[in-house]
Structure 1
Amino acid sequence: MYSNNIVTESGDTFIPASQRPDGTWRKARRVKEGYVPQEEVPLYESKGKQFMNRNTKPEPVKLSSGETAQRPIPGLFIIEDKEKKQGKKKNKNKVEEVTKQLQQVTVSEKVEVVQTDPAKKLKNLKKRLREVEALEEKLKNGLIPKPEPEQLTKIQRKNDLLLQIRELEKQIG
Protein backbone atom coordinates (compact mmCIF):
# COMPACT_ATOMS: atom_id res chain seq x y z
CA MET A 1 0.00 0.00 0.00
CA TYR A 2 1.22 3.51 -0.76
CA SER A 3 1.70 6.00 2.06
CA ASN A 4 -0.70 8.66 0.75
CA ASN A 5 -3.65 6.24 0.27
CA ILE A 6 -6.33 6.13 2.99
CA VAL A 7 -7.95 2.82 3.99
CA THR A 8 -11.40 3.07 5.58
CA GLU A 9 -12.85 0.75 8.27
CA SER A 10 -14.77 -1.11 5.54
CA GLY A 11 -11.51 -1.86 3.70
CA ASP A 12 -12.00 0.60 0.82
CA THR A 13 -8.90 2.45 -0.38
CA PHE A 14 -9.06 6.17 -1.21
CA ILE A 15 -6.66 8.67 -2.67
CA PRO A 16 -7.12 11.74 -0.45
CA ALA A 17 -8.34 15.10 -1.76
CA SER A 18 -5.52 17.36 -2.95
CA GLN A 19 -5.06 20.92 -4.12
CA ARG A 20 -4.21 21.62 -7.77
CA PRO A 21 -1.56 24.20 -8.76
CA ASP A 22 -4.31 26.65 -9.77
CA GLY A 23 -5.81 26.50 -6.27
CA THR A 24 -8.85 24.28 -6.94
CA TRP A 25 -9.39 21.03 -5.06
CA ARG A 26 -9.59 17.46 -6.37
CA LYS A 27 -12.13 15.16 -4.73
CA ALA A 28 -11.00 12.07 -2.87
CA ARG A 29 -11.12 9.05 -5.22
CA ARG A 30 -11.83 5.42 -4.41
CA VAL A 31 -9.36 3.01 -6.02
CA LYS A 32 -9.16 -0.77 -6.33
CA GLU A 33 -6.80 -2.85 -4.27
CA GLY A 34 -3.32 -2.97 -5.81
CA TYR A 35 -3.72 0.39 -7.60
CA VAL A 36 -0.42 2.15 -8.27
CA PRO A 37 -0.58 5.90 -9.08
CA GLN A 38 0.91 6.87 -12.45
CA GLU A 39 3.65 8.94 -10.83
CA GLU A 40 4.86 5.92 -8.88
CA VAL A 41 4.90 3.41 -11.79
CA PRO A 42 8.55 2.62 -12.58
CA LEU A 43 9.74 3.62 -16.06
CA TYR A 44 10.18 0.83 -18.60
CA GLU A 45 13.77 -0.10 -19.38
CA SER A 46 14.74 -2.41 -22.21
CA LYS A 47 16.97 -5.37 -21.44
CA GLY A 48 19.87 -3.69 -23.20
CA LYS A 49 19.49 -0.57 -21.07
CA GLN A 50 19.21 -2.68 -17.90
CA PHE A 51 22.39 -4.52 -18.87
CA MET A 52 24.20 -1.26 -19.56
CA ASN A 53 23.12 0.12 -16.19
CA ARG A 54 24.39 -3.04 -14.43
CA ASN A 55 27.73 -3.10 -16.29
CA THR A 56 29.05 0.41 -16.56
CA LYS A 57 32.15 -0.63 -18.46
CA PRO A 58 32.11 -3.78 -20.60
CA GLU A 59 35.24 -5.83 -20.37
CA PRO A 60 36.99 -6.83 -23.61
CA VAL A 61 36.55 -10.42 -24.77
CA LYS A 62 39.26 -12.53 -26.46
CA LEU A 63 37.91 -14.33 -29.52
CA SER A 64 39.18 -17.66 -30.85
CA SER A 65 40.76 -15.81 -33.78
CA GLY A 66 42.94 -13.93 -31.32
CA GLU A 67 41.19 -10.59 -31.80
CA THR A 68 39.84 -8.49 -28.97
CA ALA A 69 36.16 -7.53 -29.02
CA GLN A 70 33.93 -5.32 -26.92
CA ARG A 71 30.65 -6.78 -25.73
CA PRO A 72 28.26 -3.99 -24.69
CA ILE A 73 25.13 -6.13 -25.21
CA PRO A 74 24.92 -9.90 -24.69
CA GLY A 75 25.41 -11.74 -27.97
CA LEU A 76 26.88 -8.69 -29.72
CA PHE A 77 30.60 -8.60 -30.37
CA ILE A 78 32.21 -5.43 -31.64
CA ILE A 79 35.60 -6.14 -33.16
CA GLU A 80 38.02 -3.24 -33.16
CA ASP A 81 39.05 -2.50 -36.71
CA LYS A 82 42.74 -1.70 -37.08
CA GLU A 83 42.05 -0.17 -40.49
CA LYS A 84 39.78 2.47 -38.93
CA LYS A 85 42.63 3.63 -36.76
CA GLN A 86 44.86 3.89 -39.82
CA GLY A 87 42.03 5.28 -41.97
CA LYS A 88 42.97 8.92 -41.47
CA LYS A 89 46.47 8.30 -42.81
CA LYS A 90 45.07 6.46 -45.83
CA ASN A 91 42.59 9.25 -46.53
CA LYS A 92 45.41 11.79 -46.62
CA ASN A 93 47.28 9.61 -49.10
CA LYS A 94 44.16 9.26 -51.27
CA VAL A 95 43.64 13.04 -51.30
CA GLU A 96 47.22 13.57 -52.41
CA GLU A 97 46.81 11.00 -55.20
CA VAL A 98 43.64 12.65 -56.45
CA THR A 99 45.23 16.11 -56.46
CA LYS A 100 48.16 14.73 -58.49
CA GLN A 101 45.72 13.20 -60.99
CA LEU A 102 43.81 16.46 -61.26
CA GLN A 103 47.02 18.35 -62.00
CA GLN A 104 47.71 16.01 -64.91
CA VAL A 105 44.26 16.54 -66.43
CA THR A 106 44.11 19.02 -69.28
CA VAL A 107 41.02 20.74 -70.56
CA SER A 108 40.62 21.07 -74.29
CA GLU A 109 38.94 24.15 -75.72
CA LYS A 110 37.17 22.26 -78.48
CA VAL A 111 33.43 22.60 -78.18
CA GLU A 112 31.35 20.01 -79.92
CA VAL A 113 28.05 21.24 -81.24
CA VAL A 114 25.41 18.60 -80.85
CA GLN A 115 23.35 18.34 -83.99
CA THR A 116 19.66 17.95 -83.26
CA ASP A 117 17.20 16.42 -85.64
CA PRO A 118 16.25 19.16 -88.18
CA ALA A 119 12.60 18.09 -88.06
CA LYS A 120 12.50 18.53 -84.26
CA LYS A 121 14.22 21.89 -84.52
CA LEU A 122 11.75 23.01 -87.21
CA LYS A 123 8.84 21.94 -85.04
CA ASN A 124 10.28 23.86 -82.08
CA LEU A 125 10.84 27.01 -84.16
CA LYS A 126 7.26 26.88 -85.52
CA LYS A 127 5.97 26.58 -81.97
CA ARG A 128 7.95 29.64 -80.91
CA LEU A 129 6.63 31.53 -83.98
CA ARG A 130 3.04 30.67 -82.99
CA GLU A 131 3.71 32.00 -79.48
CA VAL A 132 5.08 35.27 -80.90
CA GLU A 133 2.08 35.67 -83.23
CA ALA A 134 -0.33 35.01 -80.32
CA LEU A 135 1.49 37.64 -78.27
CA GLU A 136 1.21 40.15 -81.15
CA GLU A 137 -2.54 39.50 -81.38
CA LYS A 138 -2.98 40.12 -77.67
CA LEU A 139 -1.10 43.41 -77.98
CA LYS A 140 -3.22 44.52 -80.99
CA ASN A 141 -6.48 43.66 -79.22
CA GLY A 142 -5.40 45.47 -76.05
CA LEU A 143 -5.46 42.39 -73.82
CA ILE A 144 -1.96 43.25 -72.60
CA PRO A 145 -1.98 46.95 -71.60
CA LYS A 146 1.67 47.12 -70.44
CA PRO A 147 3.87 44.50 -72.15
CA GLU A 148 6.97 43.42 -70.26
CA PRO A 149 10.43 43.95 -71.83
CA GLU A 150 10.83 40.16 -72.33
CA GLN A 151 7.61 40.08 -74.34
CA LEU A 152 8.80 42.94 -76.57
CA THR A 153 12.17 41.24 -77.25
CA LYS A 154 10.31 38.03 -78.09
CA ILE A 155 8.27 39.90 -80.71
CA GLN A 156 11.42 41.53 -82.13
CA ARG A 157 12.91 38.06 -82.74
CA LYS A 158 10.07 37.13 -85.10
CA ASN A 159 12.13 37.85 -88.25
CA ASP A 160 15.01 35.69 -86.98
CA LEU A 161 12.59 32.83 -86.37
CA LEU A 162 11.17 33.16 -89.90
CA LEU A 163 14.68 33.08 -91.42
CA GLN A 164 15.66 29.99 -89.42
CA ILE A 165 12.43 28.22 -90.43
CA ARG A 166 13.06 28.94 -94.14
CA GLU A 167 16.65 27.65 -93.92
CA LEU A 168 15.56 24.43 -92.20
CA GLU A 169 12.76 23.88 -94.72
CA LYS A 170 15.34 24.20 -97.53
CA GLN A 171 17.62 21.66 -95.82
CA ILE A 172 14.83 19.16 -95.27
CA GLY A 173 13.70 19.76 -98.80
Structure 2
Amino acid sequence: MPSVATDPSSATFTSKAGIAVTNDGERHIPSSKRSDGSVRKEIRVRPGYRPPEDVELYKNRTAEAWKSRAGYGVPGAEVLSVDKDVAASNKNTKRREARKKAALAASDEAGLEIDGGDAIGHEPKTMGTTQANKDTTAAEPVDAGTEKEKEAKKLSKKLRQARELEEKKEKGDSLLPEQFQKVIRINELIRQLNSLGFDADGSKKEKSREGPP
Protein backbone atom coordinates (compact mmCIF):
# COMPACT_ATOMS: atom_id res chain seq x y z
CA MET A 1 0.00 0.00 0.00
CA PRO A 2 1.59 3.31 -1.06
CA SER A 3 2.27 5.75 1.74
CA VAL A 4 0.40 9.04 1.75
CA ALA A 5 2.57 12.14 1.90
CA THR A 6 2.07 14.13 5.04
CA ASP A 7 2.71 17.81 5.40
CA PRO A 8 5.76 18.15 7.66
CA SER A 9 4.33 21.39 9.06
CA SER A 10 1.49 19.38 10.64
CA ALA A 11 3.91 17.44 12.89
CA THR A 12 3.90 18.38 16.57
CA PHE A 13 7.65 17.62 17.00
CA THR A 14 10.48 15.76 15.33
CA SER A 15 12.76 13.39 17.24
CA LYS A 16 16.55 13.14 16.96
CA ALA A 17 16.13 10.20 14.61
CA GLY A 18 14.06 12.41 12.28
CA ILE A 19 10.71 10.81 13.17
CA ALA A 20 7.85 13.31 13.01
CA VAL A 21 4.79 12.86 15.23
CA THR A 22 1.51 14.36 14.02
CA ASN A 23 -1.40 15.67 16.08
CA ASP A 24 -3.27 12.38 15.71
CA GLY A 25 -0.26 10.39 17.03
CA GLU A 26 1.04 9.01 13.76
CA ARG A 27 4.82 8.66 13.48
CA HIS A 28 6.64 8.88 10.18
CA ILE A 29 9.86 9.95 8.53
CA PRO A 30 8.99 12.86 6.22
CA SER A 31 9.81 12.72 2.54
CA SER A 32 13.00 14.43 1.40
CA LYS A 33 15.04 15.08 -1.72
CA ARG A 34 18.17 13.15 -2.53
CA SER A 35 21.33 14.81 -3.83
CA ASP A 36 20.47 13.73 -7.38
CA GLY A 37 17.11 15.53 -7.21
CA SER A 38 14.94 12.44 -6.78
CA VAL A 39 12.36 12.39 -3.98
CA ARG A 40 12.69 10.04 -1.04
CA LYS A 41 9.19 8.85 -0.09
CA GLU A 42 7.69 9.31 3.33
CA ILE A 43 8.12 6.26 5.59
CA ARG A 44 5.60 5.36 8.27
CA VAL A 45 7.00 4.12 11.59
CA ARG A 46 5.17 1.24 13.23
CA PRO A 47 3.74 1.88 16.69
CA GLY A 48 6.07 1.01 19.56
CA TYR A 49 9.29 1.23 17.57
CA ARG A 50 11.90 3.51 19.10
CA PRO A 51 15.27 3.96 17.40
CA PRO A 52 18.42 4.22 19.57
CA GLU A 53 18.77 7.92 18.80
CA ASP A 54 15.50 8.62 20.61
CA VAL A 55 16.24 6.62 23.76
CA GLU A 56 17.80 9.66 25.44
CA LEU A 57 14.45 11.45 25.27
CA TYR A 58 13.09 9.06 27.89
CA LYS A 59 15.86 9.47 30.46
CA ASN A 60 14.90 10.45 33.97
CA ARG A 61 15.06 14.23 34.03
CA THR A 62 15.52 14.30 37.81
CA ALA A 63 18.53 12.00 37.55
CA GLU A 64 20.02 14.12 34.79
CA ALA A 65 19.55 17.21 36.93
CA TRP A 66 21.39 15.58 39.83
CA LYS A 67 24.23 14.51 37.50
CA SER A 68 24.70 18.02 36.20
CA ARG A 69 24.51 19.37 39.72
CA ALA A 70 27.15 16.91 40.94
CA GLY A 71 29.66 18.40 38.53
CA TYR A 72 29.62 21.66 40.48
CA GLY A 73 30.29 19.89 43.82
CA VAL A 74 28.96 20.82 47.22
CA PRO A 75 28.83 24.57 47.84
CA GLY A 76 31.67 25.64 50.12
CA ALA A 77 33.47 22.27 49.93
CA GLU A 78 36.30 23.57 47.75
CA VAL A 79 36.97 26.52 50.04
CA LEU A 80 37.04 24.19 53.05
CA SER A 81 39.49 21.87 51.30
CA VAL A 82 41.79 24.78 50.49
CA ASP A 83 41.62 25.96 54.09
CA LYS A 84 42.58 22.46 55.30
CA ASP A 85 45.54 22.35 52.92
CA VAL A 86 46.75 25.73 54.15
CA ALA A 87 46.35 24.66 57.78
CA ALA A 88 48.24 21.41 57.15
CA SER A 89 51.02 23.32 55.40
CA ASN A 90 51.31 25.70 58.34
CA LYS A 91 51.48 22.76 60.78
CA ASN A 92 54.25 21.12 58.76
CA THR A 93 56.20 24.38 58.69
CA LYS A 94 55.88 24.77 62.45
CA ARG A 95 57.00 21.17 63.00
CA ARG A 96 60.08 21.67 60.83
CA GLU A 97 60.98 24.82 62.74
CA ALA A 98 60.51 23.01 66.06
CA ARG A 99 62.77 20.16 64.91
CA LYS A 100 65.46 22.65 63.84
CA LYS A 101 65.32 24.39 67.22
CA ALA A 102 65.51 21.05 69.04
CA ALA A 103 68.53 20.04 66.95
CA LEU A 104 70.28 23.32 67.73
CA ALA A 105 69.52 22.94 71.43
CA ALA A 106 70.88 19.39 71.41
CA SER A 107 74.04 20.60 69.69
CA ASP A 108 74.53 23.28 72.35
CA GLU A 109 74.04 20.76 75.15
CA ALA A 110 76.57 18.42 73.59
CA GLY A 111 79.12 21.24 73.75
CA LEU A 112 80.17 21.86 70.17
CA GLU A 113 83.88 22.71 70.02
CA ILE A 114 85.01 26.01 68.54
CA ASP A 115 88.45 27.59 68.05
CA GLY A 116 90.82 26.63 70.86
CA GLY A 117 88.78 23.52 71.76
CA ASP A 118 86.42 25.43 74.11
CA ALA A 119 82.76 24.47 74.27
CA ILE A 120 79.84 26.90 74.52
CA GLY A 121 78.70 26.93 78.12
CA HIS A 122 80.24 23.52 78.88
CA GLU A 123 83.57 21.91 79.67
CA PRO A 124 85.76 20.80 76.74
CA LYS A 125 84.48 17.69 75.04
CA THR A 126 87.93 16.07 75.13
CA MET A 127 87.66 15.37 78.88
CA GLY A 128 84.81 12.93 78.42
CA THR A 129 86.60 11.31 75.49
CA THR A 130 89.79 10.82 77.53
CA GLN A 131 87.86 9.22 80.38
CA ALA A 132 86.10 6.88 77.96
CA ASN A 133 89.44 5.87 76.47
CA LYS A 134 90.79 5.10 79.95
CA ASP A 135 87.78 2.92 80.75
CA THR A 136 88.17 1.04 77.48
CA THR A 137 91.90 0.50 78.04
CA ALA A 138 91.28 -0.80 81.56
CA ALA A 139 88.60 -3.19 80.35
CA GLU A 140 90.77 -4.75 77.63
CA PRO A 141 93.16 -6.65 79.98
CA VAL A 142 90.19 -7.97 81.96
CA ASP A 143 88.56 -9.28 78.81
CA ALA A 144 91.83 -10.84 77.61
CA GLY A 145 92.34 -12.56 80.97
CA THR A 146 88.80 -13.91 80.93
CA GLU A 147 89.26 -15.32 77.45
CA LYS A 148 92.52 -17.01 78.52
CA GLU A 149 90.81 -18.64 81.50
CA LYS A 150 88.00 -19.96 79.31
CA GLU A 151 90.45 -21.38 76.80
CA ALA A 152 92.56 -22.92 79.59
CA LYS A 153 89.48 -24.66 81.03
CA LYS A 154 88.69 -26.19 77.65
CA LEU A 155 92.28 -27.38 77.16
CA SER A 156 92.45 -28.75 80.73
CA LYS A 157 89.27 -30.75 80.17
CA LYS A 158 90.62 -32.23 76.93
CA LEU A 159 93.92 -33.04 78.67
CA ARG A 160 92.12 -34.83 81.52
CA GLN A 161 90.08 -36.93 79.08
CA ALA A 162 93.21 -37.78 77.08
CA ARG A 163 95.06 -38.93 80.21
CA GLU A 164 92.12 -41.14 81.22
CA LEU A 165 92.25 -42.78 77.79
CA GLU A 166 96.01 -43.19 78.17
CA GLU A 167 95.51 -45.05 81.47
CA LYS A 168 93.00 -47.38 79.80
CA LYS A 169 95.49 -48.07 77.02
CA GLU A 170 98.21 -48.89 79.56
CA LYS A 171 95.83 -51.33 81.26
CA GLY A 172 95.42 -53.15 77.96
CA ASP A 173 92.06 -51.75 76.86
CA SER A 174 91.61 -51.19 73.14
CA LEU A 175 90.92 -47.63 71.97
CA LEU A 176 89.03 -46.31 69.01
CA PRO A 177 91.00 -44.36 66.37
CA GLU A 178 89.58 -41.01 67.52
CA GLN A 179 90.40 -41.88 71.14
CA PHE A 180 93.95 -42.77 70.17
CA GLN A 181 94.29 -39.38 68.46
CA LYS A 182 93.36 -37.67 71.74
CA VAL A 183 96.13 -39.58 73.56
CA ILE A 184 98.69 -38.49 70.96
CA ARG A 185 97.76 -34.81 71.54
CA ILE A 186 98.58 -34.84 75.30
CA ASN A 187 101.94 -33.08 74.90
CA GLU A 188 100.43 -30.53 72.50
CA LEU A 189 97.67 -29.68 75.01
CA ILE A 190 100.27 -29.19 77.76
CA ARG A 191 102.24 -26.78 75.55
CA GLN A 192 99.09 -24.76 74.80
CA LEU A 193 98.31 -24.47 78.51
CA ASN A 194 101.85 -23.31 79.23
CA SER A 195 101.63 -20.64 76.53
CA LEU A 196 98.48 -19.30 78.22
CA GLY A 197 100.22 -19.24 81.62
CA PHE A 198 98.53 -22.30 83.13
CA ASP A 199 99.84 -25.59 84.53
CA ALA A 200 98.94 -28.99 83.13
CA ASP A 201 96.27 -29.37 85.84
CA GLY A 202 94.60 -26.13 84.70
CA SER A 203 95.76 -23.90 87.57
CA LYS A 204 97.23 -20.51 86.79
CA LYS A 205 100.99 -20.25 87.10
CA GLU A 206 102.57 -17.83 89.53
CA LYS A 207 104.71 -15.10 88.00
CA SER A 208 107.86 -16.46 89.59
CA ARG A 209 107.19 -19.87 88.04
CA GLU A 210 106.33 -18.63 84.55
CA GLY A 211 108.86 -19.42 81.88
CA PRO A 212 109.15 -20.72 78.37
CA PRO A 213 107.38 -24.05 77.76
Larger Rg: 2
TM-score computed with the length of structure 1 as normaliser: 0.30
Normalised by the size of structure 2, how large is the TM-score? 0.24
Larger relative helix fraction:
2
